[in-house]
Amino acid sequence: MSLPLGSTAACLVLAFLSSFPVAAAKKPVTPEAAARAHPARGIGRVVWAPDGERFVYRSGGTLFLYVVASGEKRRLLEFAALESDAVDLKPPERAQWKNRRVRERSIQWFPDGERLLLEVGGDLFVLSVTAGERRQLTATPVEEADPKLSPDGRLVSFRRGDELYVLRLSSGKVRRLTRDATATRWNARLDWVYPEELDLGTAHWWSPDSRYIAYLQFDVSREPLYPHADFFKLMPVPEPQRYPKAGTPNASVRLGVVPAKGGRTRWLATARGDSKLFARVDWLPDSTAVAVQELNRVQNRLRLRVLPLRGEPRTLLEETDPYWVNVSDDLRFLSQPRQLLWSSERTGFRHLYLYGLDGELRAALTSGDWEVTGVAGVDAGQGTVYFTATAESPLERHLYAVPLKGGEPRRLTREPGTHSIQMSPGARYYIDAWSSLTEPSRKTLYRASGEQIAVLQPPDRSASEEYEILPAEIVEVIAPDGATLYARLIRPAGFEKGRKYPAVVMVYGGPHAQTVRNAWSGVNLAQALAHAGFVVWQLDNRGSAGRGHNWEAKLYRRFGKQELEDQLTGLDHLIGMGFVDPKRVGIHGWSYGGYMTLYAMLHAPDRFRAGVAGAPVTDWRNYDTIYTERYLGLPSKNPDGYHGSSPVHFASQLQGHLLLIHNIEDDNVLFQNTLQMAKALQEAGKPFEMMIYPQKSHGVTGSAREHLYRTIVDYFGRRLAGP
């Protein structure tokens, strides 16, 4: 039935309908909105109690306690109360270039499960969980860095400056354990490159019996100095950084053990800058020896060595690889029986193995053309290992359980997508943070059996309710050799069939990263570009993570070539879908992605009309030792690989429009890279644009990020404009 327009009945219907509120249209995602977006507040990284029945977490400025059995959530502390008590005289640490990957624990449980050790503002506090009382342990003008409770809960170790100390809880007495630090000799303090490229988060470790502390001593005297400076003072202030470039000396490192009651350090192993790297350090459960994972300099051999406090060292396990050996955090020593859990990529995929402490293989616990991405926990009593893996799809992460005695792994997580797991001590419970392309992250508490206990944090839909988040599609691309490549596609706002749109290829491309997954992205730069009228395309080429070691090894001794081949295959597929104008394609990436942007602009100049290269490596001799040598080898042994991989040598091939972006005090990819590229482009007579940010970090943060995102979107708007 229809009503004539203008009839009384039609007017009544319109009046009736107009009495209801009209739903407000969702906002488009702007560059400013993308820059201001942040993860939903709520339960972040939790700290489980020793009994595994409770955990604490920080939400904003508040510390909360959660009790599993009752579901009780209780506010414990406002951190502002401690911040006001901390001594506000700490000297600036920026000149020391503290690495972003150093993992200092600011919240720790005492073994009794009744108290917490807190580090706030560089000072230490004890908080009673039951009574709520707090006690300040230190109030000094120097930071107590990297604090650690002894396993028996009687002592706290920490670093002041470059020396190691312990504090006795009962008396408050502080004892200094090391006394030989200098400007270039650091006790229990990491240099810049170890945590950045080996992901080693600390430099000292308590023995299980609380009698000894193992620590690393770094001699950085041979590491080159890079001359950063703070240009915001009237007279610029030097802020030099120890930064070992490919082929230059690493720090000389010693591993020692010192008694917690004080005394001489016993040196167990030494690594001179050109010999080996200490990738991981652990104590054996009986405190009789330290286990260290040693890599040779080019990282194609890893040895697990046992260094006794008394007796001769021995090699327990050895891994070799024709390309390189990736280090993991999967090692677990099992007391009963005396075995160890180990992971290896010897088959081309990372899998779990059980060894005896005699070095003999007992069992291969997992196998197949998929990879274990991490050990979540071990229940020694039940004889079960819990791990995350890509067994369902390289686009997803799920939690599995497998018996230590062997058997078929059992999948515990059910929802398709990406699951991130935080398991309790003893592996009785786990918290699952799950998201997918269409579902924002939610956090749920489960029993180890997979039985749900409680939803701790429902999905935050506020962003998708306020903004029009355009759908992302996963696209499979078949390479000429039959390999499957995965890409993520976002069509522009108001997409119309039959139209030809400009496109922006967003790229990372380097090892140890995966950008295309079945996971929630929310409000981000890709959404801002799509709302500005661009097709947004992102593809994981060979060399990326999540597909196994053989997949990433395609980058060995040569960066750029394989990655670009796969990116061009993806671009051909995208253009073949019929809605992209091949003459209006841009490319953008940051860090390795900035490098790939330059490499693509110079080696496929007819395919990309414009590029925005953020913080790019332009000459691989400028990048650090541990990362670069792992993949390219030493510059003296692979000069052609370094030359061919470095965009600075091919500036004359630029045809499209290029924007270079860099922080002037970037401590990771040094600003020197962009400056050298600019010089090469100028000498080649190639026009380009440059945006410099004044921050002291690898990424652009804070309010400057809004400027950055607007700059990127506007640049592509100008350079990819069409009829």
Interatomic CA distance for residues 676 and 404, integer angstroms: 54
The Cβ-side half-sphere exposure at 592, using a 13 Å CA radius, reads 20
Dihedral sign for Cα atoms in the order 648, 650, 652, 657: negative
Coil, strand or helix at 464: helix
* Residues ≥6 apart with Cβ < 8 Å to 718: none
Ramachandran bin of 271, using left for φ above 0, alpha for ψ from -120 to 50, beta for the remaining angles:
beta
Q: Is 666 a catalytic residue?
A: yes
CA 154 and chain centroid, separation: 33
The Cβ-side half-sphere exposure at 690, using a 13 Å CA radius, reads 19
Interatomic CA distance for residues 73 and 65, integer angstroms: 6
**Residue among 325, 352, 350, 326 nearest 341 (CA):** 352
DSSP string of 182-208, one letter each residue: -SSEEES---SHHHHHH----SEEE-T
Q: Spot the catalytic one: 591, 646, 657, 667.
A: 591
* Residues ≥6 apart with Cβ < 8 Å to 91: 141, 142
For 193, phi and psi rounded to 5 degrees? Answer: -80, -30
* Residues ≥6 apart with Cβ < 8 Å to 368: 349, 351, 391
Interatomic CA distance for residues 649 and 656, integer angstroms: 17
Coil, strand or helix at 378: strand
Name the packing angle between helices 592-603 and 561-576 (round to 10°).
70
Interatomic CA distance for residues 423 and 432, integer angstroms: 9
Amino acid at 453: I
Using CB atoms within 10 Å of the CB of residue 60, give its burial: 0 to 12 exposed, 13 to 18 middle, 19+ buried.
exposed
Q: Is 462 a catalytic residue?
A: no
The tokens of 3 are what? Answer: 């009503």
Q: Spot the catalytic one: 123, 540, 624, 666.
A: 666
Dmax of the chain from CA atoms? 101
* Residues ≥6 apart with Cβ < 8 Å to 128: 114, 115, 134
Q: Is 199 a catalytic residue?
A: no
Residues annotated as part of the active site? 591, 666, 698
